């Protein structure tokens, strides 16, 4: 028997021991719930209604969001026993980069609407746990400041390709100069989805200046303005709307973006095997299987249902990250068993940010890693890279 302090990843037992000991000795309970549903409910109670709906909402009647969660019910983990899991190793390589665990914090824009420290707080929390962080183009702070907050933590930059090619070029160059390790090109947002919660509230944070810091800090964007954004922020927000996304993009444009940088290019928003193959043919080295957390197309396919076919299509030629619907360690294990190299977590850590800033995001990271650590061990594995399709059963 190996003491947990000697384990390579002591997340699980260490977190349990800390919570239980504190609770039994002092009668206190954790500030944030471990249950992601209760966490969301707490955030709903604390946040301005517009901010909560922007984070929690999806496209149309939100059937895609529900489908994302239901898809996990189609699988069951088949635990194996007597396999010496006293020491666990959650580390993995994605793509060609060592991660402490196969978990990334997904790109989330306009974090300033839920907490004044926004992206800087979430980046510092990610750095506490060495969780790779994907900085959104729509960050509330410039990408350089987010990179500084992350330090040596793996960092990717998520790119919305602009109608202004020079602006796209500038954003990619800034990310490379700031030390980001990959460019994540989001492909599923040539237009914003029909989001009824936001429409009913008449709320889009970018028009209020939140989530456009990477534009107002960019020399190409600033050259487009008649006045500096500091003098006329409303005009800057209106100009952002004009250049935000390019609805005419084709695979040739992806190839052009890939040629702009020596960094690996990962594409986000892939739900069809043919699109995964086309992405690889045009310079991508990784794909993120994602339906944008159900925020773009109502009644769309569940992202998890598409994962096996996409894994087969890329045939180990590219990294596969799974995104959309991940809430617990068991969800991550299912996605890894279906062939994902890593998973990306979104809304839960934003709720942590809303409730307790940096500490809240750090707590969500710690809980998720602890849950994954124990789930991997209790499934019978001492290394996450050994998880494969034999780990799960179709229900």
Active site positions, annotated: 292
Count Cβ atoms below 10 Å from residue 34 Cβ, excluding itself. Answer: 17
Residue (of 13, 17, 104, 102) closest to 377 by Cα position: 13
Q: What is the dihedral of CA 256, 261, 266, 270, to 10 degrees?
A: -10
Q: Which residue has the tokens 């409910």?
A: 41
For the chain, the three-class secondary structure string (H helix, E strand, C coil) is: CCCHHHCCCCHHHHHHHHHHHHHHHHCCCCCCCCCHHHHHHHHHHHCCHHHHHHHHCCCCCCHHHHHHHHHHHHEEECCCCCCCCCCCECCEECCCCEECCCEEECCCCCHHHCCCCHHHHHHHHHHHCCCCEEECCCCCCCHHHHHHHHCCCCEEEEECCCCCHHHHHHHHHHHHHCCCCEEEEECCCCCCCCCHHHHHHCCCHHHHCCCCHHHHCCHHHHHCCCCCCCCCHHHHHHHHHHHCCCCCCCHHHHHHHHHCCCCCEEEEEECCHHHHHHHHHCCCCEEEECCHHHCCCCCCCCHHHHHHHHHHHHCCCCEEEEECCCCCHHHHHHHHHCCCCEEEECHHHHHHHHHHHHHHHHHHHHHHHHHHHHHHHHCCCCEHHHCCHHHEEEC
């Amino acid at each position: 028997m190996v003491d947990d302090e000697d384990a390579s990843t002591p997340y699980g037992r260490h977190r349990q021991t800390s919570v239980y000991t504190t609770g039994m000795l002092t009668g206190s309970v954790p500030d944030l719930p471990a249950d992601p549903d209760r966490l969301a409910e707490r955030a709903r109670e604390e946040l301005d209604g517009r901010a909560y709906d922007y984070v929690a909402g999806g496209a149309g009647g939100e059937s895609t969001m529900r489908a994302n969660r239901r898809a996990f019910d189609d699988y069951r983990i088949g635990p194996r026993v007597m396999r010496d899991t006293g020491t666990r190793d959650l580390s993995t390589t994605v793509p060609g980069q060592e991660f402490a665990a196969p978990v990334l914090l997904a790109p989330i824009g306009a974090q300033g609407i839920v907490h004044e420290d926004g992206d800087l707080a979430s980046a510092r929390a990610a750095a506490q746990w060495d969780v790779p962080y994907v900085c959104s183009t729509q960050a509330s702070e410039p990408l350089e400041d987010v990179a500084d907050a992350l330090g040596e933590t793996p960092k990717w930059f998520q790119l919305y390709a602009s109608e202004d090619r020079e602006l796209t070029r500038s954003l990619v160059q800034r990310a490379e100069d700031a030390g980001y390790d990959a460019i994540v090109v989001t492909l599923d947002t040539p237009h914003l989805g029909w989001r009824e919660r936001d429409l009913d509230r008449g709320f889009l944070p970018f028009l209020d200046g939140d989530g456009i810091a990477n534009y107002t800090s960019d020399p190409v964007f600033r050259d487009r303005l008649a006045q500096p954004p500091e003098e006329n922020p409303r005009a800057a927000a209106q100009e952002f709307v004009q250049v935000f996304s390019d609805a005419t993009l084709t695979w040739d444009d992806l190839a052009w973006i890939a040629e702009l940088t020596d960094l690996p290019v990962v594409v986000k928003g892939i739900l069809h095997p043919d699109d995964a193959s086309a992405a690889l043919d045009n310079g991508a080295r990784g794909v993120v299987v994602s339906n944008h957390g159900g925020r773009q197309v109502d009644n769309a396919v569940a992202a998890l249902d598409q994962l096996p076919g996409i894994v087969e299509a890329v045939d180990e030629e590219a990294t596969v990250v799974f995104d959309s619907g991940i809430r617990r360690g068991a969800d991550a294990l299912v996605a890894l068993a279906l062939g994902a190299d890593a998973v990306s977590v979104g809304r839960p850590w934003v709720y942590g940010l809303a409730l307790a800033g940096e500490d809240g995001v750090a707590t969500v990271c710690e809980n998720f890693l602890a849950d994954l650590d124990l789930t991997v061990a209790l499934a019978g594995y001492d290394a996450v890279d050994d998880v494969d399709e034999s780990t799960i059963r179709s229900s």
